[in-house]
A = this chain, B = another copy of it.
Amino acid sequence: MNDEFMQEAIRQARKSLSEGGIPIGSALVKDGKLVASGHNKRVQENNPILHGEMDCLNNAGRVGSFRQTVIYSTLMPCYMCAGTIVQFKIPKVIVGESRTFAGAREFMEQHGVEVIDLDLPECVDMMNQFIAQKPEVWNEDIGEL
């Protein structure tokens, strides 16, 4: 996988895993440049809203219009993150995979968001291992309690 921004998202996911957290990372790019990156912090900060994409936007702060941005995520966004992408009019989402979680692709596409799924084995493997090891944390993260 040669895309430098997806590589940054993957680095963030691995960082989260090394901290005992959920291995999902994200990067925000504006006008072709990295603005911010982040990762899931449910475990690290006891925080249900800091999915990878949300932590990335949290770290980005107030960047003005999102119309020239692309958001990267190692996993297909859930409804929270997809709703955020739709509300802030982020026009393009590039994800690492959607095999371990189908997410809200259709919802984003219905609202005009372009969604590209790179279907990367390294992202699939990372999530499969995590879900097998900590299924209860994963189920909590996606509201399946």
Contacts and interface: CB of A to CB of B under 8 A. Distances in A.
Contact of A80 (B42, B87, B104, B142): B87
Contacts of A107: 83
Copies of this chain, complex-wide, total: 2
B49 A57 contact: yes
Interface string A40-83: 00100011110000100110111111110000000000111111
A79 B89 contact: no
A96 to B, nearest CB: 19
27 contacts: A42-B62, A46-B61, A47-B61, A47-B62, A48-B58, A48-B60, A48-B63, A48-B88, A49-B54, A49-B57, A49-B58, A49-B84, A62-B140, A64-B140, A65-B145, A66-B143, A78-B83, A78-B87, A79-B86, A79-B111, A80-B87, A80-B88, A83-B83, A83-B86, A83-B104, A83-B107, A88-B143
Given A64-B145, A79-B84, 14 more contacts: A46-B61, A47-B62, A48-B57, A48-B61, A49-B49, A62-B140, A66-B145, A78-B83, A79-B86, A79-B87, A80-B84, A83-B107, A87-B143, A89-B143
